[in-house]
Amino acid sequence: MRISSIQLEIKDGRTKQDMIRYALSMMDRCKGDDLIVLPELWNVGFFNYDKYKEYSEPIDGETAAAISKKAKELRAWVYSGSFVEKRSDGYHNTSVLFDRNGEKVGEYRKMHLFTYQCLEAEILTPGKDITVADTEFGRVGLATCYDLRFPELFRKMTVSLGAEYFLITSGWPYPRLEAWNTLNQARALENTCYLISSNAAGVNNGIRFCGHSQIVDPWGYVIASTGYEEAIVRAQVGDKEVERIRREFPVLKDRRLSV
């Protein structure tokens, strides 16, 4: 499996339509890859709270439709990154997983909304459902940014729902880079899963994102990563590697406490 994590730069002054066009152009640079991952709230900018409701859309709205079409064109699996979804029960931080035909195979609404010096939790409604989807590569668990600080979510995705890969869309800000790096590795290592994260780059409403999107293997080793600037992080993952590593080092079978 050839993986691309797009560390997209968020620029103030771009409209939602500008960002959609730009994201699609970055996806074109990933032609030939099997899986593409985008960052959190890239079409609005995580810290542009005043635009959340204005830029909101239904689950099958403008952003998802554009990503679905591009997934089909590139014949790639795509984790859309998140957008503000408008539903009858409020507004959500929502991501969608598309298959090679552009069909939706999973959707996830961010469960853990950020409250530290942040308005996300005042505007949006937390999701209630854990999402692990079947793919041609294996079982894939979906998560968003702040979720990384809650290991019980990832343990449940692995032990109860069979996840072998975690896809993380994020808008993680500077200066908490050490926490970001540690949590990416820890969630992969403790669950013997691959973890692919896409964090935003650039400065949004005066706040800098810390970038450093990465691909972490089930041993907790970072096999591909980048710095603060916009980039595409790439790696190739062997078939059935998770199964092989779990046989070799059966930490999940050695558990004594349930989630």
**Domain edges within the chain:** 2-254
Residues contacting 18, CB < 8 A, separation 6+:
none
Evaluate whether 7 touches 232 at the Cβ level (below 8 Å): yes
Cα–Cα–Cα angle for 87, 90, 95, rounded to 5 degrees: 60
pTM of the model: 0.97
Residue-by-residue pLDDT tens, the chain, 259 positions? 999 999 999 999 999 999 999 999 999 999 999 999 999 999 999 999 999 999 999 999 999 999 999 999 999 999 999 999 999 999 999 999 999 999 999 999 999 999 999 999 999 999 999 999 999 999 999 999 999 999 999 999 999 999 999 999 999 999 999 999 999 999 999 999 999 999 999 999 999 999 999 999 999 999 999 999 999 999 999 889 999 999 999 999 999 988 6
| pLDDT tens figures, 156-188 | 999 999 999 999 999 999 999 999 999 999 999
Active-site residues: which are they?
Answer: 40, 110, 145
d(CA 92, CA 120): 10
Q: Looking at residue 177, what is its pLDDT?
A: 98
| pLDDT tens figures, 194-235 | 999 999 999 999 999 999 999 999 999 999 999 999 999 999
Class of domain 2-254: alpha beta
